Amino acid sequence: MPCKEKQPILMSIFLLGFCQWLQQLQWATALRESSLAFPVIEGTHLLGLAFILGPVLMFDLRLSGLAWREHAVSKIARIFVPYSIAGALLMFVTGILLFCAEAVKCYNSGWFRIKVVLLIVAGLNALYFHTKTQSTWAAWDNRPTPPPNARMAGVLSMVFWAGVLLAGRWTAYNL
């Protein structure tokens, strides 16, 4: 077998071994086996989801020109973005804890992999918007309909986050 064909197999073996090691850590095992801690962290993860998705949806609806057309985009951002940042931090911390507790199950879940890819793509979409498109706010901030690249960022964000939500739910029900 040529060397290039061995690399994905070796990476897969490494990742599975890492997930097994991670899941067997004493605190991860205690978390997984806890009848109180695991559900509390999972519930907190869902709370973080609400804190990120609600505000992101509100901002994306304005960006796409579907809602709050009479308000400046910057005003909507000032209202909603801090909540989404708090939700993202909460989801990140609790998501890492949940992953560590069930790392092998997550590794074997196609839905989990889809969720991770969609999270990365949603993050890249937000990064692109905030580094490229947001810098032109002064020219279109008060217009009822933002320029096409801003509208596209809003629509794509809603699509990606809907995918994250669905893949996350399917991950939870199929582990």
The pLDDT assigned to 3 comes to 58
Work out the mean pLDDT of the chain and round it to a whole number. Answer: 92
Residue 9 confidence (pLDDT)? 78
| pLDDT score for 88 | 93
Q: How far is CA 62 from CA 87, 139, 143, in A?
A: 19, 16, 11
| Confidence class for position 118, pLDDT limits 50, 70, 90 | very high
Domain ranges of the chain: 3-173
Does residue 53 have a pLDDT over 70? Answer: yes
Q: Which of 115, 119, 122, 117 is nearest to 154 (CA)?
A: 122
How far apart, in whole angstroms, are the C-alpha atoms of residue 35 and residue 44? 15
Q: What pTM did the predictor assign?
A: 0.87
